[in-house]
Structure 1
Amino acid sequence: MPLPSLKQQFAALLASPSISCTQPELDQSNLGVIHLLADWLNELGFACQIQPIDGYPGKANLIATLGSGPGGLVLAGHTDTVPCNPDRWQSDPFSLREADNRWYGLGSCDMKGFFPLIIEAVRHYRASDFRRPLIVLATADEESSMSGARALVADSLHAARHAVIGEPTGLKPIRLHKGILMERIDIIGQAGHSSDPSLGHNALEAMHAVISDLLTLRAGWQKQWHNPLFSVPVPTMNLGCIHGGDNPNRICARCALEFDIRPLPGMDPEQLRSDIRSHLSQLAAELQVQIDYQPLFPGVPPMDTAADAELVRLCEQLTGYSAGAVAFATEGPFLNQLGMQTLILGPGDIAQAHQPDEYLGLERIDPMLAILRGLIERFCLRVAD
């Protein structure tokens, strides 16, 4: 079967829904996308391994390799998308629409559209040209649990040295990003009649004290940590949602808070959690309530690839931009854990992601192809031993 054109691949990937979501009723398998990519990459001579994700039925990664040996290049992306609101789109989110020199569709920018560009960049090379391997990674659940990237950490990619993840960066290289922790605090007090506060322990009042402590911790972190490379140069904490109580005349027995933390590179997420636990333990004893604190998911650490790394210098040359920093999290830290120099660099814009009428501007395609070919030629074809 002949390899489909770039546009045909783009359309086929958009037409295969692969939403990942923390709400089970919205969550979908990504296997349709994985099998499409495996079929196309097989046509180009890649050896394709489909890696099921333990504990996540219907979810898998694809590890496709062309060439052999140590080193080489990893080109990576995620196969899932966020949920969408079809009624707010001008057209079907799962059908490619071309208008205004743009390709519209869910995942066009973030980031299914990166994979056809990889294939387009590779298709004119011969397998015999590759002196070092090119590895294409296609992962599951980046938009929810990052279970795909976590599964890769246990796999055998340790020989690869350089990785580029095609998240939307506007063709600008990114070597640093903040981490993200999503946390939940549950306070269990004692209900009672509101006319006599001694009859209970008010969970809402206890949560008021907890929030005050959290904001004090945040202020301390922001005083201690600062990185001018970020548009928001300090770590942040967002109090996202709160639920508690059931009636004005009852002492509140339960209250829950969910919040996120975005640490800077250099900050240890587990140390931040330890600091929070220590404060909560003291408050629970003082206020005579039970306080349970749990992460909503394991979290993503910050990413920091050295400014003088070979990959960073090459991508700066290929793009004409100095490598920068972004506040959003990616799978980059997991690839760094595998010993790779990792950079984030893709054709889309983050401003187009996660909203109706997501698109990729067609003027970004040729520059991205030139960047990909430059990377492949340096790390896979013209290898400097």
Structure 2
Amino acid sequence: MSLPSLKQQFAALLAAPSISCTQADLDQSNLGVIHLLADWLGQLGFACDIQPIAGQPGKANLIATLGSGPGGLVLAGHTDTVPCNPERWSYEPFALTEADNRWYGLGSCDMKGFFPLIIEAVKDYADQPFQQPLIVLATADEESSMSGARALAASGQPKARHAVIGEPTGLRPIRVHKGIMMERIDIIGQAGHSSDPSLGRNAIEAMHVVISDLLELRSAWQKRWNNPLFSVPTPTMNLGCIHGGDNPNRICAKCALEFDIRPLPGMDGDELRAAIHARLAPIAAERQVQIDYQPLFPGVPAFETAADAPIVAACERLTGHSAGSVAFATEGPYLNQLGMQTLILGPGDIDQAHQPDEFLALDRIEPTVRILRGLIEQFCLQPTRP
């Protein structure tokens, strides 16, 4: 079986739905994408290892390796997409449509479209001796739980010295981004008739005190932490949604708050959560309510790779841009945990991600392939430097 063309690969990946979502009725398997990639990379001589995600039927990572050695390069991406609203699209989300010098489809930008560009870059080198391995990494559930990347970090593989994740950065290298934590606080008080406040314990009033303390904590963090690499140089806390009560004449018995925190590099998520816990205990005692505090998911750490890392220098040279920062989170921290020096660099634009009529501009294809070939030549075809 011959290898499909770049456009055919692109179309096939878009036609294999792989939505990941915290809502079970929208969540889908990513195995269709994984098996397509394993087939194509296998034809190029890669050894393909499909690794199921424990406890998640229908979810898997792919580690495809060409060559061997202690160094090498990982080119990584996630195989899942966010949900979409087909009625808001001008084109079919699960098909490739070419128009206006763009390829439209769900995942074209973020980020199934990166994989055919990797294959296009490597196919001319497949018969050359690799001095160091090239590893193509395809992960599950980046858009929901990061379970694929977390499973890799827990397993200790793959191993390499350098990594590039092809998230949409407009072909500008990114070496630092904030983390993300999503949290929930539930307060359980006591209902009662509103004519006599002593008959109940108002959960909304207790939440009012909690919010005041959270905002004080946010202010303290913002005075302590500052990173000028970011357009918003301080950590943020957003109070995203709140629910409580059922009638004006009833003392509210339950109130829930969900919020997110975007920590800077150097801020430890466990320490931030401990600081919140320390604030909640006195409020619960004073207000005689029960306060439960839990993360909505484990969270993604902030990410930073040293400015003088070889992968940073290489990508700056190949793109002509200095490495910068972004506000969104990626799988970069997990690859760094595996001992790699990781950079975020991809052909899409984040403004197109998670939007109707998502697209990849055709004029990004050739520059991306050129950059990837330069990375392969430097980190895989040349002997490793001591």
Check the 8 A contact 2:152/2:158 in 1, yes or no: no
Hey, what does 1:173 align to over in structure 2?
173
Q: Secondary structure at the match of 2:148?
A: helix
Amino acid of the residue matched to residue 86 of structure 1? P
Hey, what does 1:92 align to over in structure 2?
92
Hey, what does 1:69 align to over in structure 2?
69
Alignment of 1:306 onto 2:276: no
Alignment of 1:121-200 (within 5 A): 121-157=121-157, 159-200=159-200
Amino acid of the residue matched to residue 124 of structure 1? D
Check the 8 A contact 2:14/2:107 in 1, yes or no: yes
Amino acid of the residue matched to residue 320 of structure 2? G
Alignment of 1:223-372 (within 5 A): 223-372=223-372
TM-aligned CA deviation for residue 363 of structure 1: 0.4
Q: Percent identity?
A: 80
CA distance in 1, matches of 2:342, 2:127: 24
Q: Secondary structure at the match of 1:124?
A: helix
Alignment of 1:219 onto 2:213: no
Hey, what does 1:24 align to over in structure 2?
24
CA distance in 1, matches of 2:168, 2:230: 17
CA distance in 1, matches of 2:8, 2:229: 39
Hey, what does 1:50 align to over in structure 2?
50
CA distance in 1, matches of 2:126, 2:143: 34
Check the 8 A contact 1:158/1:339 in 2, yes or no: no
Gaps of 5+ in 2: none
* Structure 1 residues 147-174: Cα deviation after superposition (integer angstroms, max 9, x where no partner): 0000101334363110000000000000
Moved more, 328-337 or 153-162: 153-162
Check the 8 A contact 2:237/2:261 in 1, yes or no: yes
TM-aligned CA deviation for residue 53 of structure 1: 0.3
Number of residue pairs aligned between Structure 1 and Structure 2: 385
TM-aligned CA deviation for residue 15 of structure 1: 0.3
Amino acid of the residue matched to residue 186 of structure 2? D
TM-aligned CA deviation for residue 231 of structure 1: 1.1
Check the 8 A contact 1:66/1:127 in 2, yes or no: no
Q: Secondary structure at the match of 2:70?
A: coil
Amino acid of the residue matched to residue 275 of structure 1? A
CA distance in 2, matches of 1:53, 1:384: 32
TM-aligned CA deviation for residue 282 of structure 1: 1.2
CA distance in 1, matches of 2:260, 2:35: 35
CA distance in 2, matches of 1:94, 1:207: 44
CA distance in 2, matches of 1:247, 1:157: 54
Q: Secondary structure at the match of 1:2?
A: coil
Amino acid of the residue matched to residue 256 of structure 1? A
Gaps of 5+ in 1: none
CA distance in 1, matches of 2:202, 2:252: 5
Distance 1:275 1:156, change over 3 A: closer
Superposition TM-score, scaled by structure 2 size: 0.99
Runs of 4+ with >6 A deviation: none
Q: CA RMSD in A?
A: 0.8
TM-aligned CA deviation for residue 384 of structure 1: 4.0
Check the 8 A contact 2:131/2:384 in 1, yes or no: no
